[in-house]
């Protein structure tokens, strides 16, 4: 139903006239209509019987129509003549720019040779919010930072991540105690498939001495995974332990030249006894 709904909207908009109405009861007149905001990048809205307009996007269309639609039996539906707009309900209505966005749901665009990694798709038939990144043509970006406590962060300093809100906050609800083992893994995408290097550092002096700093400089390795056991010398109980991951690819210059890295991400934990 999702694909049919989106296809219907896309086709309907092609024939939608520009509205130039001005009246106090405009919402009343437009109930049941799909509106195309021609002065705002073609954003689409549906005016429901409650008098409110609902934003229609590829991520929200199915839910909006499920919430507002009127149920009908097959026998009654058969009494209404069907007419389509020449759009196949099995086709994907919008093809995303492969160089800019990573899509969570499956891309069914005809003729697409998209090589985007959709390994995060659990069920291609289930509508999911879009996850987008700024895929730079030269510098690598971080796609995610996850731990063994069930936390995942996807918003880095330079990837301009937009998508599932749970993947954005850096502060976790996880409390770490002395003796807990923390396993962190950072996922990186380099546009030119160059060798990648990783640095882990923290606001804990002990952490930096063991892991992050070598001869006064950040220590980079080829390992994108960190294993660290919390110690009483890290920070005081109640303080926040911040783990930072900096990445760079093998080349002569970096996006952030002063720090000699291309992207950075961090995650925070509370410490307790």
Write the CATH number for 151. 2.60.40.10
pLDDT at 147: 96
- The answer to whether residue 9 is domain-embedded is yes
User: Which domain-ending residue is among 60, 78, 96?
Assistant: 78
- Banded pLDDT at 153 (limits 50, 70, 90): very high
Q: Which residue has the higher pLDDT, 29 or 125?
A: 29
- Dump pLDDT digits (tens) for 58-81: 777 777 777 777 777 787 777 787
User: Which domain-ending residue is among 78, 108, 131?
Assistant: 78
Whether 89 has a pLDDT exceeding 80, the answer reads no
237 lies in the same domain as 146:
yes
Q: How far apart (Å, rounded) are the C-alpha atoms in residues 273 and 271?
A: 7
pTM: 0.55
pLDDT at 60: 77
- Banded pLDDT at 86 (limits 50, 70, 90): low
pLDDT at 186: 97
- The answer to whether residue 86 is domain-embedded is no
- The answer to whether residue 136 is domain-embedded is no
User: Which domain-ending residue is among 44, 78, 112?
Assistant: 78
Q: What is the mean pLDDT of residues 203-225?
A: 90
Neighbours of 118 (CB within 10 A): 14
pLDDT at 31: 82
- The answer to whether residue 97 is domain-embedded is no
Tell me the sheet residues that pair with 238.
Answer: none
Number of structural domains in the chain: 2
Whether 244 has a pLDDT exceeding 90, the answer reads yes
pLDDT at 85: 58
- The answer to whether residue 70 is domain-embedded is yes
69 lies in the same domain as 152:
no
34 lies in the same domain as 146:
no
Judged by average pLDDT, the poorest of 48-62, 112-126, 187-201 is: 112-126
| 8 Å CB contact between 68 and 48 | yes
70 lies in the same domain as 174:
no
Q: What is the mean pLDDT of residues 88-109?
A: 39
- The answer to whether residue 90 is domain-embedded is no
Tell me the sheet residues that pair with 264.
Answer: 246
- The answer to whether residue 127 is domain-embedded is no
146 lies in the same domain as 242:
yes
Percentage, residues of the chain above pLDDT 90:
41
Whether 177 has a pLDDT exceeding 50, the answer reads yes
- The answer to whether residue 223 is domain-embedded is yes
What CA–CA distances, in Å, run from 209 to 51, 108, 138, 159?
62, 50, 32, 29
Q: Structural domain of residue 160, as residue ranges?
A: 141-272
Q: What is the mean pLDDT of residues 121-126?
A: 46
């Amino acid at each position: 139903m999702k694909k049919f709904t989106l296809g219907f909207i896309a086709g309907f908009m092609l024939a939608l006239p520009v509205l130039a109405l001005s009246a106090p009861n405009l919402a009343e007149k437009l109930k049941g209509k799909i509106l195309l905001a021609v002065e705002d990048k073609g954003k689409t809205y549906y005016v429901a019987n409650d008098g409110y307009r609902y934003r229609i996007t590829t991520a929200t269309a199915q839910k909006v129509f499920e919430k507002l639609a009127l149920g009908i039996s097959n026998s009654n539906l058969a009494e209404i003549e069907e007419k389509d707009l020449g759009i196949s309900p099995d086709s994907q209505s919008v093809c995303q720019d492969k160089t800019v966005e990573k899509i969570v749901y499956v891309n069914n665009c005809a003729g697409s040779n998209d090589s985007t990694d959709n390994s995060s798709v659990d069920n291609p038939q289930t509508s999911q919010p879009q996850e987008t990144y700024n895929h730079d043509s030269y510098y690598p970006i971080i796609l995610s930072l996850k731990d063994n406590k069930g936390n995942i962060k996807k918003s880095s300093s330079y990837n301009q991540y937009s998508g599932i809100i749970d993947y954005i906050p850096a502060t976790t609800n996880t409390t770490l105690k002395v003796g807990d083992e923390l396993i962190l893994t950072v996922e990186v995408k380099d546009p030119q498939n160059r060798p990648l290097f990783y640095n882990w550092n923290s606001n804990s002096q002990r952490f930096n001495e063991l892991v992050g700093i070598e001869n006064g400089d950040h220590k980079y390795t080829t390992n994108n995974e960190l294993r660290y056991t919390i110690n009483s010398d890290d920070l005081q109980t109640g303080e926040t332990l911040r783990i930072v991951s900096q990445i760079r690819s093998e080349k002569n210059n970096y996006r952030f030249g002063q720090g000699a890295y291309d992207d950075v991400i961090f995650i925070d934990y509370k410490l307790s006894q």
